Structure 1
Amino acid sequence: MAEQAPQENARQFIVQRIYTKDISFETPNSPAVFRQEWKPTHDLNLNTRVNKLADDTFEVVLAVTVTTKIGDMTAFLVEAQQAGIFSVAGFAENELGPLLGAYCPNILFPYAREVVSDLVTKGSFPQLVLQPVNFDALFAQHQQQAAVQREGGDGATREH
């Protein structure tokens, strides 16, 4: 059996590195917050950005911000930027958006979840476990909103 020559346009996806780019943990109302009954509300904010480093190499940064309050009092604020360097080759231009905007954040999220959980625990608060996130749905929603903005519409369905 003859060896097959590698395809010139073969798809390649490589995780080169995953790292914590920036972290912050604040407890602006400690120690008073520790005397409150622990019935928190959590606000989760996610954001991603992509930086092109070379022809086929990208840095993807997943920013996670969690604000936890007891009533009107902020118990803690956690901000973590989890990043990765990814090599992608052989993908069509229309495939790069979902790959970098949804697939890579899916890879980064467990690392960010661990960073957030560790910081909260080290701050002497009960463990906080972030629930899974459907980045594919978030990416699709973002694309839809961007399309509506490009058309200058309000998102209402129009008949042609």
Structure 2
Amino acid sequence: MAEQETGANPGEPLPNGADTAPSVGVISQYVKDLSFENPSAPAIYSQQGQPQIDVQFNIGANQVGDDVHEVVLKIEVKAEMEGQTAFLVDLSYGGLFAMRNIPEEHVQPFMLAEAPRILFPFARRIVADAIRDGGFQPLLLEPIDFASLYEQQLAAHQEQQGMAGTDMGQA
């Protein structure tokens, strides 16, 4: 009696063409870099009032292997009170994503919009815990619509390219 291929063993093809179905999965998430600075301690703890907080985000993405991509969500938080730096937090939170059979035009939107959305809740908790552990009230970052930000940046980039093309045509 012949055995039917099930794809259960590594390297075996999956039945019914399932090995060509698009798939994305999280392989791992990790703190790539974390820094907390409290340069005005202990004097900063005697000050009253709410600090002025500046939050910056950046997303980096690259391919690290066949069908494996790394996305790094970088969050920088700076808090100042009465001209003194209360604290600085710098977090690079990474994720490895397996992407198989994804059309090329969908890779970048996933890497710069969907993957950061997946990573953000974990990075948010790390930032809040670091600030709390530094002796301050935890900062709960507001949720971010990474898809809208991606679309805005893509539209701005396309507009910039269109303007550059127009300028070159007038030369």
Normalised TM-score (structure 2): 0.83
Write the distance in 1 (CA, Å) between the matches of 2:68 and 2:22. 13
Cα drift, residue 6 of structure 1:
2.8
Letter aligned with residue 51 of structure 1: N
Kindly state the Cα deviation for residue 142 of structure 1 after the two structures are TM-superposed.
Answer: 1.4
> Which aligned segments of 4 or more residues in structure 1 are displaced greater than 6 angstroms?
none
Structure 2 unmatched ranges of 5 or more: 1-5, 7-14, 165-171
- Structure 1 match to 2:156: 145
User: Matched residues in 1 for 2:38 and 2:156: separation?
Assistant: 35
Determine if the alignment matches structure 1 residue 65 to structure 2 residue 76: yes
Aligned to 2:36: 25
Q: In the TM superposition, what is the alpha-carbon distance from 1:38 to its structure 2 partner?
A: 2.7
How far 1:31 sits from its partner (Å)? Answer: 1.2
The structure with higher relative contact order (CA 8 Å, sep 6+) is 1
Q: Does 1:42 align with 2:53?
A: yes
- The superposition leaves residues 13-64 of structure 1 with CA deviations (integer Å, 9 ceiling, x where unpaired) of 1110000000000111111111111311211100011121123110100000
Aligned residues: 151
CA distance in 1, matches of 2:139, 2:132: 8
**Offset at residue 151 of structure 1 (A):** 2.6
Q: CA deviation at 1:97?
A: 1.3
- The structure whose residues are more often helix, as a share, is 2
Counterparts of 1:118 and 1:58, CA distance in 2: 27
Report % sequence identity: 34
Partner of 1:157: none
| CA apart distance, 1:129 | 0.7
Q: Unaligned 5+ residue runs, structure 1?
A: 154-160
